[in-house]
Structure 1
Amino acid sequence: MSRSIDAHVHLWNRATDPQPWIDPATMGVIDRDFAPADLGRMLDSTGVDAAVVVQSSNSAAETRRLLAHPDARIAGVVGWADLTGDVAAQLDGLGPAERGRLVGIRHLVHVDPDPAWLQRPDVGKALEQLGAHGLGFDLVVRWWQLSPAAAVVAAHPGVRFVVDHLGGLAESDDDAGWEAGLRELATRPNVFAKISGLAGLVSGGGGARLRRAVDVALEAFGPERLMYGSDWPLAELGAGPVAWRCAVDELVAELSQAERRAVMSGTASAFYGLGA
């Protein structure tokens, strides 16, 4: 039996990797450090076997620290690399154990000072290097960045991309632009997506909007290109990881057993090369 995978969690120690975006006044519940032991308790509470830890800083040092965690429930790490530099040299500089635990790369595109960062020629060359090394790229973008991202993934058909948090819904309830952008990305077979980052809709009266968003994703990508992620500990800012897991279970309840297995384990395992 395949193990269940939470495809999107974070760990941080603010002594080494500060998180200046955390507002203590409004985000007090996550205004602390999160270690592998905390992750284990969260996974137990949601009934999930293992998780993919995703970088939270554009920092090579943070990536090395994440790769050094020996916890067996960390199935892999999506780290950071400077895609404007020599990516092959950066990857070759990792030790065998580190390289074995690195399953993907992410850059915080949605907050990069350069609005056209993803379209840079040097970044494009680096994406090709990721593909050559068997690594996918996590796309963390806002809804208005989905269409430009679609042009980028079209230019790199040999690279696997996964859209974090279904591409980030708009702050308003008008999802027309988001839907158009997500569907445009989904036309590319090398693009996958994470059902994650939407726990706020569970506790904020957005159940109908959440259902609509997931229905759009299922129709556009199909279960075989979708994966479950809690976005913990940020899920604590919304309904919490347990309520989020229950919500996702309800949202995919009408799928076949094989399709539900894809969302909860198979897609993430295949995309990130996690094995059984």
Structure 2
Amino acid sequence: MSDAQGLVDAHHHVWDLHVRPQPWLDEPGHEPIRRSFGAHDLRSAATRTIAGRPLTRTVVVQCIASLPETRDLLALAGSDPLIGAVVGWADLTSPAIGDVLDDLRTGPPGRYLRAVRHVVQGESDPHWLQRPDVERGLRAVGERGLGYDVLVRSHQLPQAIRLAERLPELPLVLDHAGKPPIARRELTDWAQQLRTLARHSQVRCKVSGLVTEADHEKWTVDDIRPVWDALLSAFGPDRLMFGSDWPVCVLAGGWNRWAATVEELLDGCSDSEIHAVLAGTATTFYRLTPAPTKEGTACS
């Protein structure tokens, strides 16, 4: 099946704990995913279609502040036809950030680097994204035609807003919708900040990572729907993209349950709107090329 009728998962992770530890997995509650996960595991898990669309393309995203991890992800993208783009990591504060990005893009797998991300949610500085050295690094990202994945918690959304204001030329995508506090049912401030961010036309948003912000055991579609309604109102379908946050989503139901939820949320949307959310927006933002169609190479 071609990408035009397929599904793009704009946010997933892989890690091999025998090669590179993931210290964040040592936190309580992560026991179900405290093992290695590869792209073959995603293929096995993602068996459900959304609106009749099977998974055909993905974007793999960095987990830790590690250039070797980013290089491994690029190599994986070069060898696995399921992966169409990589969101990597580089030290934005480094005076040599431009050279580092150029080095990452050297060689055939480097062409898969389409964006950079830093785990800002773990930074205590409430103005981290506005630090002069960080802004210099982000400008270097934009100058190389790359985007930036913004990973912040809901109380950090003002940083994302200021970033969008100060660097209007830098393509941005908000990961996990800014992590709305779904479990606490305190969405008013989040929704207000979201609307402000969405006024900046260079910003897109991932419909991902929501179930792990809800009650992992008891969440229902009704818990997610107010967030979906706010996202649809703020960004519109042409600026939203589906992501699974696999395998983290295993903590709250898994890939197929999230896929079923997204299909239910899309009920009432037009075919063109469904295409935008499930493939079009991600394809444009990450400049995804068509997946290989030769027998035995495409993910079915």
Name the TM-score, length of structure 1 as normaliser. 0.95
Equivalent runs, 1:23-62 vs 2, <5 Å: 23=26, 26-46=29-49, 47-62=54-69
Alignment partners' CA distance in 2, 1:205 and 1:77: 30
Kindly report which structure 2 residues correspond to 1:19-168, keeping only aligned pairs within 5 A, or say none.
19-23=22-26, 26-46=29-49, 47-69=54-76, 70-85=79-94, 86-94=96-104, 95-168=106-179
Residue in 2 aligned with 1:234? 248
Give the length in aligned residue pairs.
276
Alignment check: 8 A CA contact 2:237 2:276 kept: yes
Rounded to whole Å, the distance in 2 between the matches of 1:205 and 1:90 is 42
Higher relative contact order (CA 8 A, sep 6+): 2
Q: Which residue of the other structure, out of 244, 253, 275, is the alignment partner of 1:261?
A: 275
2:223 counterpart of 1:209: yes
Unpaired segments of 5 or more residues in structure 2? Answer: 291-300
8 Å contact from structure 1 (residues 91, 99) kept in 2: no
Percent of paired sites with the same residue:
40
Residue 273 (structure 1) aligns with: 287
Which stretches in structure 1 are left out of the alignment for 5+ residues? none
Q: Structure 1 residue runs of 4+, over 4 Å off? A: none
Partner amino acid, structure 1, of 2:46: L
Paired residue for 2:298?
A: none
Q: Deviations over 1:172-199 (max 9, x none)?
A: 2111111111111101000110000012
SS in 2 for 1:81: coil
| Equivalent residue number for residue 237 of structure 2 | 223
Larger CA deviation: 195-204 vs 65-74: 195-204
Deviations 1:46-98 (A, max 9, x none): 53112100000011111001111111101111000110112210121132313
Classify the secondary structure of the residue corresponding to 2:115.
strand
1:110 and 1:223 mapped to 2: Cα distance? 26
Instruction: Say if 1:17 and 1:57, in contact at 8 Å, map to a contact too.
Output: no
Cα distance in structure 2, aligned partners of 1:100 and 1:141: 27
